[in-house]
Amino acid sequence: MSEKINIAIIGGGIVGCWLALELSRSEKDIFLFEKNPGVTTGENQSSRNSGVNHAGINYDPDTRPLKARLCVEGNRLWGDFCEQYSLPFIKVGKLMVALTEEEDRELDLYERRAFQNNVPDVRKITAAEVRKIEPNVDARSALFIPSSGVFEPTSLLRQVYFLASSQGVQFMTGTEVMAIDAKQGKLSIRIRYRDGSEEWVETQRIINAGGVKAVSLAKMVDKDFPLKTAFIRGDSMKFNRKARHDLHLRGTNIYPTPRTVKTPFGFQSTVGVHLTPMFDIIDGQYVIGDTVMVGPRLTVVHSDDDLQTPMPEPESFVHDTGFFPGLNAIDLTPNFGGIQARLDGYPDFYISRDRLSANIVHLVGIDSPGFTSAPAIARHVARKFFKSST
């Protein structure tokens, strides 16, 4: 490797890849270090998520200002990007459904928030209108959110990676960052290559985009880094929408009103178990297929790689989707599990310079809607920390 590099990005998930692409427009000599053998191979959040391009109505701009702003901006940027490169993305819209009077009142709150966050064309609809959109969904009322969509995450990730590579970013896959040294005004990272050999590499700047490992990476520089993470696994199941008439969905995202999950740090807000159409490939083209994802159902786990703790029973998925009465436990088969890290007492994305070393930027707590927000996160970082003109 070269004696001294300009920017070291740690983590080749969607956030690291977008940062690489964005910064490659104004910076040279960027290296991205990813411990997995490739950017779409291995366990990370960017390859194991629900594939929803969130509209941005869930995030209170007072308590989660970055999520509120960057989700809405990211939603729009992905739309343009996917159109430009003909990527699998379809704006199927979303119904946030209310089953009770209390939930119906909650919809009013989210309708106001949609307005505050500049989410376009959100409107409250009646039970009869819900049935017109999705005849098998049973709800008292709903919000219809047309700017929400579905994408096939790994195709999008691969495209960002290709573009960044072609702009000169060096992707060091199969290469793990083992330590960061920021003493005596000099920055270095210790990397381990796939053959087990290690070396120190000097760098001018570091961006920590390590996903669920981001807090551990931050602690390599600042052992008193102020945030802690709880690991939450989201498991999903799936069913075939053509298996029975009452399982048929036309293809809209169906969500309950937001739910909470109990973490070791207290209750946190989450989108709840939802129904999301999945892609299929027919004649070489991505189309909405017959499989519908149900999930994620959240379980607090003890480590960032705990896929062993048993997944919740199918009955619990049925229980959580009372708005879709045709679904039975027997219809469900396991789909996937993905682990995210939630921050203790900090509900927003945490994007900040290191407290001790100004040339390190940490991106921590990039949980959902992190995939949707990734292009906007990259712009935000480029403008705020790198004086980019885009």
Ligand X SMILES: Cc1cc2nc3c(=O)[nH]c(=O)nc-3n(C[C@H](O)[C@H](O)[C@H](O)COP(=O)(O)OP(=O)(O)OC[C@H]3O[C@@H](n4cnc5c(N)ncnc54)[C@H](O)[C@@H]3O)c2cc1C
Q: Which is nearer to ligand X, 93 or 296 (CB)?
A: 296
C-alpha distances out from residue 155 to 41, 213, 255, 325, Å: 12, 24, 24, 33
Residues binding ligand X: what is the number (CB under 6 A)?
39
Q: In terms of CB distance, is 18 or 144 closer to ligand X? A: 18
Sole binder of ligand X in the list 24, 40, 50, 141 (CB under 6 A)? 50
Identify whether 258 is preceded by a cis peptide bond (ω within 30 of 0).
no
Q: Is residue 272 a contact residue for ligand X (CB under 6 A)?
A: no
Least Å distance, CB 33 to ligand X, is: 5
**Buried b / exposed e across 31-53, counting CB within 10 Å, b at 16+?**
bbbbbbeebbeeebbbbbbbbbb
Shortest Å, Cβ 213 to ligand X: 4
Applying CB under 6 A, among 31, 33, 89, 239 the residue interacting with ligand X is 33
One of 5, 8, 52, 139 touching ligand X (CB under 6 A) = 52
Count CA atoms within 13 Å of residue 280 on its CB side: 11
**Distance of alpha carbon 307 from alpha carbon 319, whole angstroms:** 23
Q: Which is nearer to ligand X, 54 or 241 (CB)?
A: 54
CB of 149 or CB of 314, closer to ligand X: 149
Residue 296 found at the interface with ligand X (CB under 6 A): yes
Is residue 257 within the footprint of ligand X (CB under 6 A)?
A: no
Rounded (5°) CA angle 320-326-331: 80
Under the binding rule (CB under 6 A), the answer on residue 14 touching ligand X is yes
Per CB under 6 A, 15 contacts ligand X = yes
Q: Determine, following the binding rule CB under 6 A, whether residue 263 of this chain makes contact with ligand X.
A: no
Which two tokens mark 95? 């119904």
Segment 209 to 228, residues that bind ligand X, using CB under 6 A = 209-213, 217
**How far apart are the C-alpha atoms of 29 and 234, rounded to whole Å?**
37
Residue span binding ligand X (CB under 6 A) among the ranges 117-125, 158-166, 203-211, 239-247: 203-211
Regarding 320 and contact with ligand X (CB under 6 A), the answer is no
Closest approach, Cβ 191 to ligand X, in A, equals: 8
The Cα–Cα gap between 254 and 327 comes to: 13
Q: Are 20 and 32 within 8 A, CB to CB?
A: yes
Q: Does 78 bind ligand X (CB under 6 A)?
A: no
- Give CA–CA dist 105/192, Å, rounded: 54
Radius of gyration of the chain (CA): 21
367 part of the interface to ligand X, by CB under 6 A: yes
Alpha helices in 93-195 (DSSP H): 101-116, 127-133, 153-166
Residues that bind ligand X (CB under 6 A): 10-16, 33-36, 44-46, 49-52, 54, 176-177, 209-213, 217, 234, 296, 338-340, 366-372
